[in-house]
């Protein structure tokens, strides 16, 4: 038995430290690759990375998100054979889908992308490596989410990219020391080997965590897809919206506007960073407390974590509103001080997202994934229809306004739908004394975590 408070603190610490180290490892790895490879090969490397990330997001069909809910709910109901069955079904499905997509990529799609889309023949020599990379990355992300369902946030962080990032850096450094003739296939081979090794090791640890001496409960794939496919659709729409503003600016504006906007977008992520850390921890708690019917505890917990995330987010928002040009100048150079207004506009949308708390996760972890998909679809459609005219009339400012408006519309709609469907609020608690009381009481609430 462990308290909610302990789970939140330890889980957040793991998520925060893992994110910091992964960023550090990625920067170090990119620095090494930039020194060993030509600019052309570095461009191919980044294209390959994008291809892998995109296909690996498609391959799981939402199973990597659904398994968090299925496992957490099964633990809450003491149905450990169902938890085991959910994990096995998820891994088998993701393996089959990723292998199928990798075969399609290797058999023709990859060559088409190389020749007709990206116009680089170098990718043709990497097809087999990229195909293996896709399978390994899909399994890595899925196994990490299986650990998250068991409330093992440390394992989810370690095997969700931290270990593979460290191994990639280690392998590439060793190759740098041992070989004089460094090629792009050799370096990508090191990265793929690191991810494959991570998958094999995480599989062993996940097997040890699965309940033993019981028969796995056979889950109906149709029922699981009923949960996973709406989550998959929502994830794809979210991926689309994450890129839409840059794409639109690239079409209707010039490179200068794209540079200014891109600088503001990267910096504004600091506003939502606290909530991103919290969201790495709360999904299994939401599923488990909802399965137990403890809605009062669920609402107190969600509003508490939203407030904890909101305090630093509001501080960053205030700093960027008042001294955004100063920070843009410090990070990117004096030229980018002109993006201060863009930064302020985007900050508003990001803070509203933090204000709403984990409303989207609450819908997806309590059986209302279709409602979330509808919200995502409607708000995305409204933005798609509006963003191009806004870009044509108001330029880069219009794109920033529409992007921020989409954040506001999405999260406020999800907040009220969560209240209607689930019966709980997830937004920031304005009464800080109530928050302090909730934090003290959180230590008294227990959540089952036998495995």
pLDDT value of residue 438: 52
Q: Which residue has the tokens 């095997």?
A: 159
Question: What DSSP string describes 410-450?
Answer: HHHHHHHHHHHHTS---S--S-HHHHHHHHHHHTT-EE---
Residue 175 CA to residue 182 CA, distance in Å, equals: 8
Core vs surface per residue 379-412: b (16+ CB within 10 A) or e: bbeebeeebeebbeeebbbbbbbbbbbbbbbbbb
The tally of CA atoms less than 13 A away on the side-chain side of residue 166 is 11
Q: What are phi and psi of 446, to 5 degrees?
A: -110, 145
Residue 386 confidence (pLDDT): 93
DSSP class per residue in 100-119: HHHHHIIIIIHHHIIIIIS-
Q: Give the pLDDT confidence score for residue 448 in this predicted structure.
A: 44
pLDDT given for residue 362 in this prediction: 95
Chain centre distance of CA 401: 24
Q: State how far the Cα of 286 lies from the Cα of 151, in Å rounded to an integer.
A: 11
Q: Is the distance from CB of 106 to CB of 123 less than 8 angstroms? A: no
Q: Are 190 and 168 in contact (CB under 8 A)?
A: yes
347: its two tokens: 């900050």
Q: What gap in Å lies between CA 243 and CA 255, rounded to an integer?
A: 16
Distance CA 238, CA 261 (A): 19
| Cα within 13 Å of Cα(254), Cβ side | 1
pLDDT values of the chain reduced to their tens digit, one per residue, 451 residues: 346 767 777 877 888 788 888 878 887 888 888 888 887 787 788 778 878 888 898 999 999 889 999 998 888 888 888 888 889 999 999 999 999 999 999 998 888 887 777 677 788 888 999 999 999 999 999 999 999 998 888 999 999 999 999 999 999 999 888 887 788 889 999 999 999 999 999 999 999 888 776 666 677 777 888 889 999 999 889 888 887 888 888 778 777 888 888 888 878 888 888 888 888 888 888 998 998 889 999 998 899 889 988 888 899 899 998 998 998 888 788 888 898 999 999 999 999 999 999 999 999 999 999 999 999 999 999 999 999 999 999 989 999 999 999 999 999 999 999 999 999 999 998 765 555 555 555 455 444 444 4
Distance CA 130, CA 102 (A): 8
- Give the integer Cα–Cα distance in Å for 349 and 346: 5
Q: List C-alpha distances in Å: 412 to 13, 104, 307, 435.
A: 28, 40, 16, 21
Q: Residue 198: its pLDDT value, please?
A: 96
Report the predicted TM-score, pTM, of the whole model to 2 decimal places.
0.79
d(CA 429, CA 306): 8
What's residue 440's pLDDT? 56
With contact defined as beta carbons under 8 Å apart, do 313 and 447 qualify? no
With tokens 């550090």, the residue in question is 24
In DSSP notation, 141-206 reads: HHHHHHHHHTT-HHHHHIIIIIHHHHHHHHHHHHHHHH-SS--HHHHHHHHHHHHHHHHHHHHHHH
Segment (H or E) for 292: helix 282-292
Nearest CA-CA partner of 58 in 21, 17, 105: 105
């Amino acid at each position: 038995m462990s308290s909610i408070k302990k789970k939140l603190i330890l889980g957040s610490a793991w998520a925060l430290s893992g994110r910091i180290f992964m960023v550090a490892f990625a920067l170090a790895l990119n620095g090494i690759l930039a020194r060993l490879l030509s600019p052309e090969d570095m461009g191919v490397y980044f294209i390959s990375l994008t291809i892998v990330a995109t296909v690996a997001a498609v391959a799981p069909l939402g199973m990597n998100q659904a398994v968090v809910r299925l496992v957490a709910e099964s633990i809450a109901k003491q149905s450990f054979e169902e938890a085991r069955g959910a994990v096995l079904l998820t891994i088998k499905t993701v393996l089959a889908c990723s292998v199928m997509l990798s075969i399609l990529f290797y058999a023709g799609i990859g060559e088409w992308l190389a020749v007709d889309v990206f116009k680089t023949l170098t990718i043709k020599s990497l097809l087999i490596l990229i195909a293996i990379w896709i399978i390994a990355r899909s399994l890595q992300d899925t196994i990490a989410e299986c650990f998250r369902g068991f409330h093992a946030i440390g394992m989810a962080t370690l095997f969700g990219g931290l270990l593979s990032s460290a191994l990639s850096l280690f392998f590439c450094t060793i190759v740098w020391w041992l070989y004089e003739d460094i090629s792009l296939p050799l370096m990508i081979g090191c990265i793929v080997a690191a991810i494959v090794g991570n998958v094999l090791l995480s599989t062993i640890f996940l097997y040890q965590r699965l309940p033993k001496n019981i028969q796995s409960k056979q889950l109906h794939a149709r029922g699981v897809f009923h949960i996973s496919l709406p989550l998959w659709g929502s994830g794809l729409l979210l991926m689309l919206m994450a890129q839409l503003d840059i794409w639109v600016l690239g079409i209707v504006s010039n490179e200068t506007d794209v540079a200014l906007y891109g600088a503001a977008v990267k910096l504004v992520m600091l506003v939502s960073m606290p909530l991103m850390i919290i969201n790495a921890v709360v999904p299994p708690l939401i599923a488990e407390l909802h399965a137990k019917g403890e809605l009062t505890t669920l609402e107190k917990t969600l509003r508490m974590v939203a407030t904890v995330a909101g305090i630093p987010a509001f501080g960053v928002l205030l700093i960027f509103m008042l001294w955004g040009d100063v920070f843009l100048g410090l990070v990117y150079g004096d030229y980018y001080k002109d993006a201060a207004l863009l930064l302020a506009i985007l900050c508003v949308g990001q803070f509203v997202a933090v204000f709403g708390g984990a409303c989207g996760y609450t819908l997806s972890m309590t059986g209302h994934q279709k409602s979330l998909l509808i919200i995502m679809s409607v708000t995305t459609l409204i933005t798609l229809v509006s963003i191009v005219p806004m870009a044509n009339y108001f330029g880069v400012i219009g794109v920033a306004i529409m992007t921020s408006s989409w954040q506001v519309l999405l999260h406020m709609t999800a907040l009220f739908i969560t209240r209607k469907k689930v019966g709980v609020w997830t937004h920031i608690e304005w009464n800080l004394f109530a928050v302090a009381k909730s934090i003290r009481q959180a230590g008294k609430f227990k959540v089952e975590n036998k495995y």
